[in-house]
Structure 1
Amino acid sequence: MDLRSLTKSQPVDQDKFEVSKILFGALPFGGVYDEIEKSSPFEAVSRALELGINAFDTSPYYGDSEQILGSVLSSLSDKYPRSHYYIITKVGRYGLNKQDFDYSPKRARESVEESCRRLKTDYLDFVYAHDVEFVDIDEVVGDCGVLIELFKLKKEGKIKYVGISGKNPNTLLSNYIPKFKSFGVKYLMNASPLSMGLLTETAPPQWHPAPAKLRSAKLAIQFSLEWDGTDSTVIGLSNRKQVEEAIAWFNEVLARKRTLI
């Protein structure tokens, strides 16, 4: 589906998660990779909405990302009401270290309420348990696990959908897609095709473990967009240029696929 088929006047489906193939990753707004210009978030988000991106991914772990994204979306509310896009955020992880994880039901509920305030919304479309591979499985799916509390919040109308996220590479995920589907998982998304800032035009953060020679942003994004089995790809975007490049590369993928039909 071409992103431009989603027009700015079209509300998203509240009963389904019909997300655009590119999902706006707002992690860069938190300054995790490099400093961003003050006007960049507004320009990036408004251009994304204009070109058909209809979902935004963030987390309380991503610095000021939620606050910045919430302020931008609020400032655009006359042109793009809340009903015209999905907001995705997370619970459970709040820092780099093991002690910064808190999967308790109490903290999860507090976190959802805090995220709603920062994002200036009464509800969240999707909430993940963040980076589940770093905690004990019982903290996720046990009788007192975080998912039970998230489903309670879903029943209360604070959350539309509940999910989990992890850092396993996209190509490994493909091995598990049939199993996920058999258990009733409705939506699957891959993320970080730029490998946590490695494949951007600026240098990756100092903490990044990969060799510096691994670089090709366009190929990485197109590989993820061509890969079948997921509903969308989360791409970290921080400015208008990156939004336009991502969509242009996606349209190249579509053009190649049409020539093969």
Structure 2
Amino acid sequence: MVSVSAADPPDRPLPLSKVALGCGVFSGAYGPVEQSDVLATVRKALSSGINMVDTSPYYGNSEDRLGQALKDLADEFPRSSYYICTKLGRYGYRKTDFDYSAKRVYDSINESMRRLNTSYLDIVLCHDVEFVDTLQVVNETLPSLFELKRAGVVRRVGVSGYPLETLLEIAQIQHKRGRPLDICLSYCNFNLHCQLLEEYVPKLRAAGVATIISASPLSMGLLNQDVTPEWHPAKAELKAAVAQCSAVVRQSLETGVSISLAEMAEHFSFSCPGADVHLVGAKTEDQVRRALDAYCQATSLNLATGGSYTDPDIQNVYRQITSILTPFARYTWPSPPADA
């Protein structure tokens, strides 16, 4: 066990970088990845000022690969120089693959620490809380995690999931009980096709949530301008709209307007009002560099709060994209899915 550093008091938010590295992609879910790529990606992220890495037992062998990379980089980046976020409770696709019991909490923490080559975890989130009974989350899982926080094994406790109303409900319950969540992680809820997170930020703050993480600016690959993953849960109408956006971008490239759909998506998402951290999956050094460049540009563009591109041709493309996607601004797909 390790005591929480005096530099990071347990009642204050961790000083996380504005961009965090999502390591779920290390599992190969978005294409093959070699361990040498993982090492290079993590090194690039840490050397560029990113100080938070995010993973989960659900992401295949992501914890093992990340843990090996961090071990190999120990001389360059000591354990105290970054924050590890992992999750528990979800271990597969279906509801039967969830285990939120108190015993599994302790076992899962020990397993994650072993895979990640660490004696403590900076952040632990209950993974995809909408799949399980909320009462179990607040009466069994979170109390166990807060016990581990008191022991110094876990430094911050939170939840992750897709339906914002579920995240808010749990946050409000915890707030009323005098043990507010440290962190909420929301994914795919602030991007070019959905801006619901902005509505929930003040509600989550009122419920005592100190840190809000907005994940997946590319909506799990939907806005990447490549072929949408077959497993993506968005309805056909949204996928068709995104394909129309991709066509607009390809046409603009032919006329000399150089910007990708992914770049516009990141520029927009990174300007989300109220988000403390933007979690971006990257499996190469170039993807890390691109995400950081996009964040720097986003801070000056402020697209989500009425800003615009200075290049009128790019602004015209962006206007077409947002016009196509505006009808989906409040659309969310079912989670859990019907076949879970």
TM-score w.r.t. length of structure 2: 0.69
8 Å contact kept, 1:88–1:124: yes
Aligned residue pair count: 246
State the Cα distance separating 1:230 from its structure 2 match: 1.3
Give 5+ residue unaligned stretches, structure 1.
1-10
1:98-247, aligned counterparts within 5 Å? 98-142=95-139, 145-168=140-163, 169-170=189-190, 171-200=195-224, 202-210=226-234, 211=239, 213=243, 216-247=261-292
- Say whether the 8 Å CA contact 1:86–1:125 is kept in structure 2: yes
Q: Identify if the C-alpha distance between structure 1 residues 65 and 12 changes in structure 2 by more than 3 Å, giving closer, same or farther.
A: farther
Distance 1:177 1:89 in 2: 22
| Counterpart residue identity of residue 253, structure 1 | A
Percent of matched pairs sharing the same residue: 45
Distance 2:225 2:287 in 1: 10
Q: Distance in 2 between matches of 1:27 and 1:107?
A: 21
Match of 1:84 among 81, 84, 87: 81
State how far apart, in whole Å, the 2-side matches of 1:12 and 1:35 are: 41
TM-score computed with the length of structure 1 as normaliser: 0.88
Compute the displacement of 1:255 (Å). Answer: 3.4
107-116 or 165-174: bigger deviation: 165-174
* Matched AA of 1:19: L
Q: 1:14 aligns with which of 3, 8, 12?
A: 8
What is the distance in 1 between the residues matched to 2:97 and 2:33? 26
**In 2, Cα distance between equivalents of 1:12 and 1:73:** 23
- Structure index of larger Rg: 2
Are 1:103 and 1:146, in contact at CA under 8 Å, matched by a contact in 2? yes
Deviates most, 246-255 or 193-202: 193-202
Provide the rounded CA distance (Å) in 2 between the counterparts of 1:177 and 1:126.
20
Shift of 1:201: 6.1
What RMSD, in angstroms, separates the aligned Cα atoms of the two structures? 1.9
The whole-number CA distance in structure 1 between the counterparts of 2:70 and 2:215 is 22
Instruction: Tell me if structure 2 keeps the 8 A contact 1:28–1:237.
Output: yes
Structure 2: state its 5+ residue gaps: 164-188, 247-260, 308-340
Higher relative contact order at CA 8 Å, sep ≥6: structure 1 or structure 2?
Answer: 1
Within a 5 Å distance, the mapping from 1:246-257 to structure 2 comes to 246-256=291-301
CA distance in 2, matches of 1:12, 1:234: 26
How far 1:65 moved relative to its partner?
0.3
Give CA deviations for 1:67-125 in whole Å, capped at 9, x if unaligned: 00010011111110000000000011000011001111110111011000000000000
Contact 1:34 1:205 in 2 (8 A): no
